[in-house]
């Protein structure tokens, strides 16, 4: 649900519209040693959950859960085998993604998204890969 909401929101960035996929598609590209089609692409995946200790309550179980998602951004330029131009373009795209998603409300079950971190994930064959992580909190309740 969170991944779907983020994928939908990312479509507001015109250069990514129609080029946003999930983590399984990214894993297949990596396994096959291929690059995505087109000059820019985004791959959104859940990176997992980190639960806090349960809150003390006599009649209910309430636990806050941090969920982190990762977005791998890929920018490639055909005339840039060393990746220098791609790196500069991916840095601009990263800033656009942070501006769009920091403070985004993914739905009633979640807190607003917070920017977690960003890291250059690699340069290969004129393509720059950059991972941007965001997190939010939700609650597990059982009465």
pLDDT over threshold 80, residue 113: yes
Give the tens place of pLDDT for each residue, 29-43: 888 988 888 889 999
pLDDT, position 83:
67
pLDDT, position 37:
84
Walk me through the domains of the chain, giving residue ranges and CATH numbers: 2-142 (3.30.2000.10)
Secondary structure of the chain in the HEC alphabet?
CHHHHHHHHHCCCCCCCCCEEEHHHHHHHHHHCCCCCCCEEEEEEEEEEEECCCECCCCCEEEEEEEEEEEEEEEECCCCCCCHHHHHHHHHHHHHHHHHHCCCCCCCCCCCCEEEEEEEEEEECCEEEEEEEEEEEEEEEEC
Q: Between these two residues, 12 and 123, which has the higher pLDDT value? A: 12
CA-CA distance, 27 to 32, in Å (whole number)? 9
**Mean residue pLDDT across the chain:** 90
User: Sorting pLDDT into bands at 50, 70 and 90, what band is 66?
Assistant: very high
What token pair was written down for 25? 């598609």
């Amino acid at each position: 649900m969170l991944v779907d909401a983020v994928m939908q929101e990312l479509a507001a960035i015109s250069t990514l519209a129609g080029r946003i996929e999930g983590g399984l598609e990214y894993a297949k590209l990596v396994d096959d040693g291929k690059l995505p089609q087109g000059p820019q692409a985004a791959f959104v995946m859940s990176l997992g959950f980190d639960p806090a200790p349960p809150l003390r309550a006599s009649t209910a179980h309430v636990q806050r859960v941090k969920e982190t998602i990762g977005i791998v951004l890929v920018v490639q330029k055909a005339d840039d085998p060393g990746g220098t131009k791609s790196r500069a373009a991916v840095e601009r795209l990263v800033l656009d993604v942070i501006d769009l998603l920091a403070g985004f409300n993914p739905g009633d079950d979640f807190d607003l998204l917070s920017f977690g971190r960003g890291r250059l994930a690699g340069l290969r064959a004129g393509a720059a890969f950059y991972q941007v992580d965001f997190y939010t909190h939700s609650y597990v309740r059982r009465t």
